Structure 1
Amino acid sequence: MKGLLITTLGVLCIVPDSLFVRLIDGDPMVTTFWRSLISGSVVLAAVLMFPGLGSFRSILRTGWPGFWYTVLIASTAPAFVLAVSNTSVANVVFIFASMPVFASVYSRLFLGEPISRRMILTMAAVFCGLAVLAYGSHTNEVASWKGDVWALYISASYAAALTLVRKLKETPMIPAIPIAFIGTAVLIGLFQAPLPAFVEKWPLFLGHGLFIGLATCLLTIGPRYISSAEVALLILLESVLAPLLVWALVGEDPGAYAVSGGVIVIGALLMSNLVAMRARQRRC
């Protein structure tokens, strides 16, 4: 119950992410700067309070796998803002839901884990749903293939980062997250002037960063107490709630194709995770 509550709260904190990008409606790189800096600072404070400063030394000992994990996490921050800025929120979150498919492929290629029949059927259904989403991007004024590509990049990159975490399972990788986020902000700050926008819209920037920082901490703690299938089911909530929230508050209609493609993707993953959870319960 503890893991369930913490993970659910983490998912609910990440739901407004796309909405904040829509409400800020500014330069994507400036939005990324404040999102990364504030959320990275929140996670950094949590790391310093609990594991402590020594936890950063363990990250340095991970070598190239730890380096690429940090780079991949850092790259998803600007990619997310670019995705939401260039296509519909529904398309973005439904494409994100394809992450387990990429994770299965990476696990087969780099960890030597077989892909189950259940996952092969899930992949086929997810790819059909993504095809419907891609087709719908040509018929919806809000949606665009450019944003869809960025969303697909995030899904593939984050899945790769999760695969690296499994490879480095003996080392807690949480301290790498503030390094990635704050590093992204510093790099963007070299080429942008983010302060004027913050003065104008500071409540939105602050709220955006705090929500992401809190979600990151909760989604790191919660999955320690529940199974991966249960985590995957809870994370699907974000794919359902985020488009509804943006539709209700901003009036962004996801369109029939996005809804149809999303139903296929979410439905396939939902069934797959329920089967996995039932199989786990039988073994127990």
Structure 2
Amino acid sequence: MSNLSSNHARGLLITGIGGMALTVDIPLIRLADGEPWTILLLRGLATLVVTLVIWGAWRMLRGDAPALIPGRPGLAVAGLYSLASLAFITAVYTTSTANLVFILAFNTMFAALLSWIFLKERPRPVTLAAMLVMLIGVFIIVFDGMSSGHLLGDALALFTAFCIASAITITRASGRDMGFTALVAVAAPLLVAAFMVSDTGLQVAAPWWIIFNGAVITPVAFFCLATGPKYITGPEVAMFYLLETVLAPVWVWMIFSEVPSTASMIGGTILIVTLVLHSLWQLQDGRRRRAALAVRHPA
């Protein structure tokens, strides 16, 4: 029983580190000040190189490195992360940072819904109520995006959230270690970006920011977030994306003075408050359940 609690705590720590690292992803993309395909190329190339170096060193020194793509579940997860990467980079340039991260936070509820459908992990009534409230928040943001010209970016953000939630669900169902899978998934978007850039050349003002992002921030963030489902539930993993929802707009506001629209703030506030309250309830409920199991099955 103590081993179960230890694994859960390990999962929360690993995923928390990944979520915190992810908060600076968008600010670094914006600081690089480049054309989307160039950004995707440099970010993906740096991530792929670092990933292969770390994986190769791990395999040589210890011999127990996880598979880069573990079977068919790994292919599915890699494909979903590839689609998410393409949609995310495009969304960064077609909607506001606040809209993007607020809508991405909906992946928590996508994860709960997909776990219900495919893993038979029926959401509690509290989770269903939270889904309904969050739908209202997303609707407010997207409706505002229709009038402000951000509809495409908002739709891409929603698609990104769905892809990430789907990848989390498959990882949880398979029980496989997908830490490296999420990182090598950049290979497909990288090839697309390389083709697009071949005619125009690299267009970026400060490449060091995006290279640092790809070489350090992205590997740490996605390795941790993709490893989390091995130890904790999909909705719990998705919860840590809330850190980006809360902090990324703060960093962008501090660096670029980008102020969210009124509708974005209203919808975002609904999302954040609902997620915080639901997450606190979920963690407390999880503690009660583990405590009950510990009483019934003492070690």
2:255 paired residue number: 249
2:69 paired residue number: 59
For residue 30 of structure 1, the aligned residue among 12, 26, 38 is 38
2:297 paired residue number: none
Asked whether the equivalents of residues 6 and 221 of structure 1 are also in contact (C-alpha less than 8 Å), the reply is yes
Unaligned runs of 5+ in 1: none
For residue 187 of structure 1, the aligned residue among 186, 192, 198 is 192
Output the CA distance in 1 between the equivalents of 2:80 and 2:213. 21
Asked whether the equivalents of residues 183 and 219 of structure 2 are also in contact (C-alpha less than 8 Å), the reply is no
2:182 paired residue number: 177
Label 1:228 to 1:188 Cα distance change in 2 as closer, same or farther (>3 A): closer
For residue 275 of structure 2, the aligned residue among 244, 266, 269 is 269
Aligned-residue Cα RMSD (Å) equals: 2.7
Q: Which amino acid aligns with 1:244?
A: V
Label 1:73 to 1:246 Cα distance change in 2 as closer, same or farther (>3 A): same
Q: Which amino acid aligns with 2:81?
A: I
Asked whether the equivalents of residues 15 and 225 of structure 2 are also in contact (C-alpha less than 8 Å), the reply is yes
- The alignment status of 1:236 with 2:251, answered yes or no, reads no
Deviation at 1:237, TM superposition (A): 1.9
Deviation at 1:228, TM superposition (A): 6.5
Output the CA distance in 2 between the equivalents of 1:34 and 1:70. 19
Output the CA distance in 1 between the equivalents of 2:19 and 2:197. 31
2:115 paired residue number: 107
Label 1:188 to 1:126 Cα distance change in 2 as closer, same or farther (>3 A): same
Percent of aligned pairs sharing the same letter: 28
2:86 paired residue number: 78
Cα deviations by residue, 1:167-188 (Å, 9 ceiling, x for unpaired): 211x212232233112321232
Label 1:225 to 1:168 Cα distance change in 2 as closer, same or farther (>3 A): closer
- SS of match in other structure, 2:189: helix
- The alignment status of 1:258 with 2:264, answered yes or no, reads yes
Output the CA distance in 1 between the equivalents of 2:51 and 2:67. 17
- SS of match in other structure, 2:131: helix
Label 1:69 to 1:232 Cα distance change in 2 as closer, same or farther (>3 A): closer
Label 1:231 to 1:111 Cα distance change in 2 as closer, same or farther (>3 A): closer
Cα deviations by residue, 1:199-235 (Å, 9 ceiling, x for unpaired): x532122122122122223434567677767655543
Q: Which amino acid aligns with 1:120?
A: L
Deviation at 1:57, TM superposition (A): 5.2
Asked whether the equivalents of residues 73 and 180 of structure 1 are also in contact (C-alpha less than 8 Å), the reply is yes
Output the CA distance in 2 between the equivalents of 1:105 and 1:229. 9
1:92 paired residue number: 100
Deviation at 1:106, TM superposition (A): 1.6
2:162 paired residue number: 156
Output the CA distance in 2 between the equivalents of 1:228 and 1:2. 15
Asked whether the equivalents of residues 183 and 223 of structure 2 are also in contact (C-alpha less than 8 Å), the reply is no
Label 1:10 to 1:163 Cα distance change in 2 as closer, same or farther (>3 A): closer
Unaligned runs of 5+ in 2: 1-8, 292-299
Output the CA distance in 2 between the equivalents of 1:178 and 1:228. 19
Asked whether the equivalents of residues 109 and 131 of structure 2 are also in contact (C-alpha less than 8 Å), the reply is yes
The answer to which of 206-215 and 123-132 deviates more is 206-215
Output the CA distance in 2 between the equivalents of 1:58 and 1:234. 24
Aligned residue-pair number: 278
Label 1:88 to 1:220 Cα distance change in 2 as closer, same or farther (>3 A): same
Output the CA distance in 1 between the equivalents of 2:287 and 2:31. 43
- SS of match in other structure, 1:197: coil
Output the CA distance in 2 between the equivalents of 1:213 and 1:189. 20
For residue 28 of structure 2, the aligned residue among 12, 20, 26 is 20
Output the CA distance in 1 between the equivalents of 2:137 and 2:245. 14
Label 1:105 to 1:225 Cα distance change in 2 as closer, same or farther (>3 A): closer
Deviation at 1:113, TM superposition (A): 2.7
For residue 210 of structure 2, the aligned residue among 202, 205, 211 is 205
Deviation at 1:98, TM superposition (A): 0.5
Label 1:132 to 1:51 Cα distance change in 2 as closer, same or farther (>3 A): farther
Deviation at 1:94, TM superposition (A): 0.6
Output the CA distance in 2 between the equivalents of 1:192 and 1:173. 30
